[in-house]
Chains A and B, each alone.
Chain A
Amino acid sequence: MGGLDSDMVLDENGSWSDRIMKASLTGHLEDPAKLLEGFDVKMGIERLTAGYGKRNAITDISLPIIKNRVTAIIGPSGCGKSTFLRCLNRMHEVLPEAFVSGRVTLDDVDIYGEDIDPTDLRRRVGMVFQKPNPFPTMSIRNNCLAGFLLTGKKVRYPEEVVESTLRKVGLWDEVKDMLERPGTYLSGGQQQRLCIARALAVEPEVLLMDEPCSALDPIATARIEELIHELCSSVTIVIVTHNMQQAARVSHFTAFLYMGRLIEYGDTPTIFTRPKESLTEEYITGRFG
């Protein structure tokens, strides 16, 4: 906990603790101010509603994403977790007939504002997908640099970027002698770590992870969880997972979504041991989903 500026949290005019109390469905956060004491809010979600055509995928969600911590989004299949995640980097709107309403702020700036360029946003808020997908026509080295190669942005010292990001994800020693091989040459777990390296290379402030381990075996999963642990001190992480044990292991804060609504949000230990909502408790104990 802490050492960070807590003014933001306790500020009187629409402090985050207040906003959560007013807008969130739970209203059960006993002492939001205390909960968020000493934390910085990196991204704020207020009354977010999104869906396709006439159908809502998520309705009226409000919660904070705490800086340099891991926030887990859990819930049964189809509850809107992925849609929620995709609203944070404006990927949702790329789909046909998609709509979004509400406010999502990054460092207090509304990312859906008029003069915000979504492509710029996506460099600051990166994403890793469920199925590892290195670009097949690029080498391992170029996959790391893809964020620059694809957008035409210049990178000063490419070899250093490649080495440092591969070291961060623990791949360097394994692949340093085969950087020119295609990205698809690696095993599933290695590919996913490569995808994380690729996302990290552009130095995002937030990293969104959509069930990053569900296509991987347990050993690879463990390595990635370890990686998440190491990364979160420098990057804010939001992870969607259907694996509750993983959420409990890896995150500091947890949000439970059900049928597109936020049922409960709190710090992970509390959510998993003394959840306030009965629905949360039922899900955690495996009675459904």
Chain B
Amino acid sequence: MKLLSISRKLLRIASSKRRFLNSLFSLGVVLSAILVVAPLFIILVSVAIKGGRALNLDFFLSLPKAVGESGGGIAHAIVGTLFMVGTGLLFSIPIGVASGVFLATTSNKRLSAIVRTSADCLAGVPSIVTGLFVYALLVVPFKRFSGFAGAVALSIIMLPTITRTTEEVVRMVPHDLFESAIALGAKRWQAVFRVVLPTAGRGILAGLIGAASRAMGETAPLMFTAFGSHFLNLNPFEPVSAIPLVIFNYAISPYEDWQQKAWAASLVLTFLVLGGIIVSRRLVYGRFG
């Protein structure tokens, strides 16, 4: 940019004080950039090293052993996490995607403002409070913790994200595609379902994967809904384990073997979550970043 080169020439004429301040500033900025990114690497490296030690095939496939015995794994937690996130999606997709389409296509300005604000507020509700809500509704009346309650808690947490990303993506579909479908004699729902949604499909999928990845890492809401368990449990109406729960419980335990496993489980969880986020970005941007 020509302006930039002109200003650089002016800079050489500028006072040394100005140059000094500028250099100081630049240093500060670069430093803060480094400080911001450094933790990412420090944490990832710690998790990789400490977690890698306890990682083996057994870790993925077997169930926990009794305290004191070495070996055992977190298969029950992996199954639990996949189950609860998957079931959660079953609830949040019909409501979330539909709400997103609603926000993008409705002409009812008042209602859409209310819905949009509610979605934003729901996103800001701390996940532990959501857990409490589901506890009151689904655990207390039945007097038992359940994987099902955990799934519901996760679905509420995923809902705002899915709604907003769907709305953004659907808005980006050119309006005349919708109009062309109508002009061919399609009803409005046919135009939305068979033209608008497929065109937005990639983006919606990316939003789903992103939301699910984040839900996989949630701990607090599961603490009083699914509660956790040492056993592999295929009954959704009983307590179910999840990877983040295992990490937390093992981490605060006094047993070194368990603490080791907490690191290993963190490695697995981080891998899953980051992997999901990267896949989701790829879908949107076509390549990494």
Contacts and interface: CB of A to CB of B under 8 A. Distances in A.
Given A150-B190, A150-B191, A151-B190, A133 B184 contact: no
Interface of B: 107, 174, 176-177, 179-188, 190-191, 194-195, 198-199, 201
Interface residues of A, number: 27
B180 A133 contact: yes
A121 to B, nearest CB: 8
Contacts of B183: 89, 91, 122, 126-127, 129, 199
B226 to A, nearest CB: 38
A149 interface: yes
B184 A150 contact: yes
Given A91-B179, A136-B199, A137-B199, A202 B194 contact: no
A168 interface: no
B190 to A, nearest CB: 5
Interface in A133-148: 133, 135-137, 146-147
B107 A123 contact: no
Given A146-B184, A199-B184, A137 B179 contact: no
A47 interface: no
B185 A120 contact: yes
A273 B256 CA distance: 98
DSSP majority for the B interface? helix
Contacts of A1: none
Contact of A123 (B179, B181, B185, B199): B185
Nearest to A148: B184
Interface in A180-205: 195, 198-199, 202
Given A94-B182, A198-B184, 4 more contacts: A126-B183, A129-B183, A133-B174, A135-B177
A131 B179 CA distance: 12
Contacts of B186: 119, 150-151
A152 B187 CA distance: 10
B113 to A, nearest CB: 15
A151 B184 contact: yes
Nearest to B180: A133
B198 A137 contact: yes
Interface in A193-236: 195, 198-199, 202
A245 B194 CA distance: 39
A140 to B, nearest CB: 15
A53 interface: no
A119 B201 contact: no
A96 interface: yes
B180 A122 contact: no
Contacts, number: 70
Contact of A150 (B107, B179, B181, B201): B181
Contacts of A136: 177, 199
B195 A150 contact: yes
Contacts of B107: 96
B73 to A, nearest CB: 43
Given A135-B195, A137-B199, A147 B177 contact: no
A149 B195 CA distance: 10
Contacts of A150: 181, 184-186, 190-191, 194-195
Interface string A136-174: 110000000011011110000000000000000000000
Contacts of B180: 127, 129, 133, 135, 195, 198
**Which A-B residue pairs are the 10 nearest by beta carbons?**
A127-B183, A123-B185, A96-B107, A150-B186, A137-B198, A122-B185, A147-B184, A119-B185, A150-B194, A133-B176
Contacts of A123: 184-185
Nearest to A150: B186
Nearest to A89: B183
Contact of B184 (A94, A137, A202): A202
A87 to B, nearest CB: 13
B174 to A, nearest CB: 7
A129 B179 contact: yes
A245 B207 CA distance: 49
A12 B190 CA distance: 45
Nearest to A149: B194
Contacts of A135: 177, 180-181, 195, 199
A150 B185 CA distance: 8
B184 A126 contact: yes
A129 B176 contact: yes
Contacts of A96: 107
A120 B186 CA distance: 9
Task: Tell me which of A126, A149, A150, A152 has the highest count of chain B C-beta atoms within 10 A of its own C-beta.
Answer: A150
Task: Tell me which of A94, A96, A135 has the highest count of chain B C-beta atoms within 10 A of its own C-beta.
Answer: A135
Nearest to B195: A135
A135 B173 CA distance: 11
Contacts of A131: 176
A69 B191 CA distance: 31
B207 to A, nearest CB: 17
Contact of B185 (A94, A137, A202): A202
A135 B194 CA distance: 10
8 contacts: A94-B182, A119-B185, A129-B180, A135-B199, A137-B201, A150-B184, A151-B186, A151-B187
